Structure 1
Amino acid sequence: MKGRSIILDHIGDREAAAVLVDGQLHDLLIDADAPRPGTVYRATADRPVKGQGGMFLKTPDGPAFLRQIKGLSPGQTILVQVSGYAEPGKALPVTQKLLFKSRFAIVTPGALGLNISRSIKNEKERDRLLEIAHDTLNGAETGLILRSSCDGADAEEIADDIANMADLAKRVLADDDEEMAVLAEGDGPHVLAWRDWVAPAEIVTQAGGFETHSVMEALESIRDVRVALSGGASFFVEPTRALVAIDVNTGADVSLAAGIKANLACAKALPRALRLRGLGGQIVLDLAPMPKKDRRTFETALRQSFRADDVETALVGWTPLGHYELQRKRARLPLQEVLG
């Protein structure tokens, strides 16, 4: 099957969405029981954590942890937003920097100013978008980012999107109650698919779409720790309690270039492997043997590969033992944890 398709369906009673590119599973979102990123709480400061510059908070969904707590004291009410998923047994990560994000607009109450995605180069289009934004906000004191999806989009749709997000932000910020509460729910997979997967695609919404488009079959394959690469090479993705270990193997290839070929193939396939498995945190790559002179080539390929990935990933660098380390935001729950 050629082209790009977005499948909106359910796995059991869990809402789910998938992107297929030329028949291959490219991205996957499955709802979980944990609080969704983007959820806004009215929380209560509980106790500071000495030496870490943070504070535990009380929320309706359990304890949360907030960094950078200058001016905050125990018992104080505060608005926070879930920024990712918690590690097992740990508090929810939250931030005071609230973002109200939709398909075309991101409203940023704490950061004033109007910004347009740098990917929109055409000056006439940028002027058109500025006019839409100014007319819609009508002097409202809030920050706004217009996303790349605005390029060429219908003016009325953009204006409605801005107005809806600005209104939501206004209602949340106007809240002056003192009790803990959920003020805004994070988006589920179907809304996230509409919001973030904006490239042209066939949209499939019929029940059973995951079966008819072989998404369930692909799910079974990505449960396997082994990821096959070209030329018989492969790498293994093995999550542990502390980190995610990636082991790259050359297979039957015994040529002098086998190591760098396998490592470059791993660099290309790694973002998809982590994305589909929902893996984040510390990631350590045990690469196939290659000369030190090839390290820069590998780093360039890895950087290029992650540039197109939408989950924040820091390429940390080499260890004394020759491993390569990454730090990836926990933007999703591990697939094995969600599906069991």
Structure 2
Amino acid sequence: MSEELLINVTPHETRVAMVENGVLQEVRIERSTGRGLVGNIYKGKVVRVLPGMQSAFVEVGLARTAFLHASDVAVGEGEGRRNGNEQDIRALLREGQEILVQVVKDPIGGKGARLTTHLTIPSRYLVFLPGGHHVGISQKIEDAEERERLRAMVAAASEGEERGGYIVRTVAEGAGEAEVAADVTYLQRLWDSIHDRAAATTAPGLVHEDLPLALQVLRDMAGTPYERVRVDSRETYQRIREFAETFVPEMVELIEHYPGERPLFDLYSVEEEIQKALERKVELKSGGYLVIDQTEAMTTVDVNTGAYVGHRNLEETIFKTNLEAAQAIARQLRLRNLGGIIILDFIDMGDQEHRRQVLRALESALERDRARARICEVSALGLVEMTRKRTRESLEQILCEPCPTCGGRGSVKTTATVCYEIFREVLRSARQFDTRELLVLAAQEVVDRMLDEESASVAELEDFIGRSVRFQVEALYTQEQFDVVLL
């Protein structure tokens, strides 16, 4: 499988695209005015403790107070056990208390950032846990001897250090003793620096900021078999190479500067795919299609056969469509970065084996997704329920805002509905106020209907209230807006 990493840099925005076999699979965007907060460490002040929710609101210097649940509070000095559920939040925190916290979920919608006091500091091979004591190994490293070898190396490299524990990342498989030891030294120095800055910082305030997106992706994607990493900014290219020489030396030769006049993202049709990822409807090659609706509570995906009629029988047509949809859904979840609760409405299948194969195809396609996903069995209504970890805003939330005309509803009142609302408002005003004439200000489409299809109704209304009603077009009004002015 051919995998490439494309990095597009402008003064205001950095975009990273992950392309497999020429097809965009994932895109991440970071803007200079709104960088992601996940991984940042703050010195915060508890402003409110909520026993009923077993949580607290913490002021860390952001636009909205952040949220800290009892299960994310370390119990006791130096302990890294997540047993906050056994403790009352009032025994763990008090209002006015200053604490060191890390962002684990960006602010999304109207919600503040999600925090934890279980700090984690990643490097190339390891994740340092300042509050831990043990050495954990990634579950993806399955070889028992390799797991023990890595555990012994980390223990030896950190011998004499009583300041924390470690998690060995998947990419560390096969790593040498010197490389692991270098990571331990780097993490200890970084933690010392963070610890000193925390002591000097007045709450609320930022103590440690995670790497910018271009370097963060290189660190987190270490071990992914990329064929090349292409960067269209010479300055960023130099910075990435310097970072790679220190932390990811095996990727140095893969990094190249793209000097072409044609935009890098246009070369791989990334811009076109991003535009498609903002649409509700996703066309399948067979002629079927998906309809994706993202709401605050959950995301729903509906599968339809569309123009696909198959070649054998209805059951086979449905099965083929669902199999293709399973692959497309997995890609769309990554591409759009959809998280939380996700409901998949596959086309009903009577064959139990077909249902099992479609679920297996979905699970297989999701294995390439770095975000943790969990699929439940098919519900009594024939729906597949699943969850996908959400740590940052979706592509739509980053690039779009609610429609100013419909307010995010996705529909507007018809001209007929608005006309009847105007009739009621005119009648109400005529009864309440003594006036010679009434002037209605409305959008062009509404006024056109009033003077055409509803002209007879307008004449009847004027006779009933004994006053004339005039209409005036307001170019800036939306279809739903109108005003009744007394003259």
The Cα offsets for residues 141-183 of structure 1, whole Å up to 9 and x where unpaired, read as 2111121212234554443333222322344345335521111
* Counterpart for residue 41 of structure 2: 40
Which deviates more, 126-135 or 282-291? 126-135
Paired with 2:296 and 2:338, the residues of 1 have a C-alpha distance of 12
Gaps of 5+ in 2: 71-88, 234-262, 401-487
**2:116 maps to 1:92:** no
**2:204 maps to 1:205:** no
Paired with 2:184 and 2:326, the residues of 1 have a C-alpha distance of 38
Residues 348 and 382 in structure 2, CA contact (< 8 A), matched pair in contact too: no
- 1:1-340 equivalences under 5 Å are 3-10=2-9, 13-32=12-31, 33=34, 35-61=36-62, 62-68=64-70, 69=89, 70-121=91-142, 125-126=146-147, 129-130=150-151, 132-141=153-162, 142-153=164-175, 155-173=177-195, 175-176=198-199, 179-197=203-221, 198-201=223-226, 202-207=228-233, 208-254=263-309, 255-291=314-350, 293=352, 294-340=354-400
Choose between structure 1 and 2: higher helix proportion.
2
Shift of 1:132: 4.0
Shift of 1:121: 4.8
Distance of aligned partners of 1:306 and 1:212 in 2 relative to their CA distance in 1, 3 Å threshold: closer
Distance of aligned partners of 1:220 and 1:12 in 2 relative to their CA distance in 1, 3 Å threshold: farther
Which deviates more, 88-97 or 278-287? 278-287
* Counterpart for residue 450 of structure 2: none
Distance of aligned partners of 1:170 and 1:316 in 2 relative to their CA distance in 1, 3 Å threshold: farther
SS of corresponding position for 1:232: coil
User: What letter matches 2:185 in structure 1?
Assistant: A
Shift of 1:38: 0.9
**More relative contact order in 1 or in 2 (CA 8 Å, sep 6+)?**
1
Distance of aligned partners of 1:139 and 1:265 in 2 relative to their CA distance in 1, 3 Å threshold: farther
Aligned length: 339
Paired with 1:122 and 1:87, the residues of 2 have a C-alpha distance of 39
SS of corresponding position for 1:19: strand
Residues 126 and 169 in structure 2, CA contact (< 8 A), matched pair in contact too: yes
SS of corresponding position for 2:94: coil
SS of corresponding position for 1:5: strand
SS of corresponding position for 1:258: helix
User: What letter matches 1:90 in structure 2?
Assistant: K
SS of corresponding position for 1:262: helix
Shift of 1:305: 2.8
Paired with 1:333 and 1:110, the residues of 2 have a C-alpha distance of 28
Residues 157 and 180 in structure 2, CA contact (< 8 A), matched pair in contact too: no
SS of corresponding position for 2:338: coil
Choose between structure 1 and 2: higher strand proportion.
1
Paired with 1:317 and 1:168, the residues of 2 have a C-alpha distance of 44
Distance of aligned partners of 1:63 and 1:286 in 2 relative to their CA distance in 1, 3 Å threshold: same
Shift of 1:292: 6.9
Paired with 2:170 and 2:16, the residues of 1 have a C-alpha distance of 22
Shift of 1:224: 2.8
Paired with 2:39 and 2:393, the residues of 1 have a C-alpha distance of 14
Paired with 2:343 and 2:143, the residues of 1 have a C-alpha distance of 41
- CA RMSD in angstroms comes to 2.6
Paired with 1:169 and 1:275, the residues of 2 have a C-alpha distance of 32
Paired with 1:271 and 1:165, the residues of 2 have a C-alpha distance of 35
User: What letter matches 1:31 in structure 2?
Assistant: E
SS of corresponding position for 1:46: strand
Shift of 1:113: 1.1
SS of corresponding position for 1:31: strand
Paired with 1:191 and 1:150, the residues of 2 have a C-alpha distance of 19
Residues 301 and 345 in structure 2, CA contact (< 8 A), matched pair in contact too: yes
- The TM-score with structure 1 as length reference comes to 0.88
Shift of 1:226: 2.4
Shift of 1:303: 2.8
Residues 30 and 36 in structure 2, CA contact (< 8 A), matched pair in contact too: no
Which deviates more, 279-288 or 111-120? 111-120
- The TM-score with structure 2 as length reference comes to 0.63
Residues 36 and 392 in structure 2, CA contact (< 8 A), matched pair in contact too: no
Paired with 1:11 and 1:28, the residues of 2 have a C-alpha distance of 16
Paired with 2:9 and 2:373, the residues of 1 have a C-alpha distance of 28
The Cα offsets for residues 178-206 of structure 1, whole Å up to 9 and x where unpaired, read as 52111111333212321222322211123
